[in-house]
Amino acid sequence: MVNLIWVFLAVSGIVYAMFNGTMDDVNEAIFESADEAVMLSIGLISVLVFWIGMMRIAEEAGLLRGLANLFKPIFKRLFPEVPPDHPAMGYILSNFSANLFGLGNAATPMGIKAMNEMKKLNNDSKAASRSMITFLALNTSSVTLIPTTVIAIRMQYGSVSPTEIVGTTILATSISTIGAICIDRFFYYRRIRRNQ
Amino acid sequence: MMSMITTISTWIIPFIILIVLIAGTIKKVPTYETFVEGGKEGIQMAISLLPFLLGMIVAISIFRASGAMEGLVALISPVLQIMGIPSDIVPLAAVRPISGTAALAVTTDLIKEFGPDSFIGKLASTMQGSTDTTLYILTVYFGAVGIKKMGDALKVGLLADLIGIIASITICTYFFGF
């Protein structure tokens, strides 16, 4: 699926440029964006090194397990294939809490660690497990309490009330998250029916 | 309200670090050495992520620079308008799941154009904040741990985005009106 999307984006762009007369822009975009991607990855190094280092200490100190215990009832149902006291659960919860507070750059390293642990639980298979799909569904719908970037932009353009959209954002994000979980469940049970 | 939010967001990170370091020391974890070990893992992750990000970002930027993205938006606009989505917001709705930077650019543009306190400005703000870039999340998380078969993840993510978009419009129409 991702192969098809990737090829579609590039091929349709190049073919479109042939007729649209934007080949110059495409040519420039290829090299500029490659540069941009390298800068982005290098930029990620600082965040990843810092937060994974910190989280390793938190893990050894038993903080992740404590956090996992706190939210166990809800997340045990969301992730039935992850044992509640497994480190994966701790990372899932830290990722969720970081997203909740709008700490996107702290959420990513924890999310990657969570995926790593879930891969181990799935016998190191290269296919996505049920828990991984649920986890991604949670992340793409991103539950955020404080949309910091948006508030900053609104302030920059002289909004009378920059935080006015906090309430509507929380409501919209909650609905999309609940929707994501329902859709995730729907596809899971469809997979099971097909395999029977 | 605003000052409280800014205070919380500036205090929270140092506060987490404080708790982690104190808890580590109490539990007799060799804190500095553990931090360094974890950090090494972080470097490996960032490096192994690079090709995944680069491949996806280049393909998206070809799509954008050629004008194909605008073409797609023009193509699906009528359909989205039938569904009751205001035409000014259509580019944002179409771009949000594909590219985070593009979506942020569109949001900024809409806020600049219509003003942050206009209906479109508030709707764009809500939409931008309520979902994340599905394609980026998939690329980063699956890329970093080497998952080749994504299963239903993409479908689930995109459908959740659609729900988020519809929810934003409904909620904003209800609370802010036209």
ipTM above 0.85, yes or no: no
Instruction: Categorise residue A7: left if φ over 0, alpha if ψ from -120 to 50, beta otherwise.
Output: alpha
Give this prediction's pTM: 0.80
Radius of gyration of chain B (CA): 21
Binary contact (A140, B131; C-beta < 8 A) = yes
Flag if B39 and A106 touch (Cβ within 8 Å).
no
Contacts of B108 in chain A (CB under 8 A): 153
CA nearest to A27 within chain B: B62
Q: What's the pLDDT tens digit per position in A132-166?
A: 999 999 988 877 777 777 887 888 888 888 888 88
pLDDT 10s digits, A8-58:
989 999 999 999 999 999 999 999 989 988 887 887 788 788 888 888 898
The Cα–Cα gap between B141 and B45 comes to: 10
- Name every chain A residue with its beta carbon within 8 A of the beta carbon of B143: none
User: A80-100 pLDDT, tens per residue?
Assistant: 999 888 889 889 988 888 787
Residue B29 has a pLDDT of 92
Q: How confident is the model at residue B6 (pLDDT cuts 50, 70, 90)?
A: low
pLDDT at position B86: 80
Which of B18, B31, B45, B12 minimizes the C-alpha distance to A109? B45
Which among A12, A172, A177 has the least Cβ separation from residue B68? A12
Between A150 and B22, the more confident residue is: B22
Please provide the size of chain B in residues.
178
Cross-chain residue pair B153–A22, CB shorter than 8 Å: no
Instruction: Mutate one of B62, B101, B108, B172 to test the A interface: name it (highest A CB count within 10 A).
Output: B62
Average pLDDT, stretch B80-109?
81
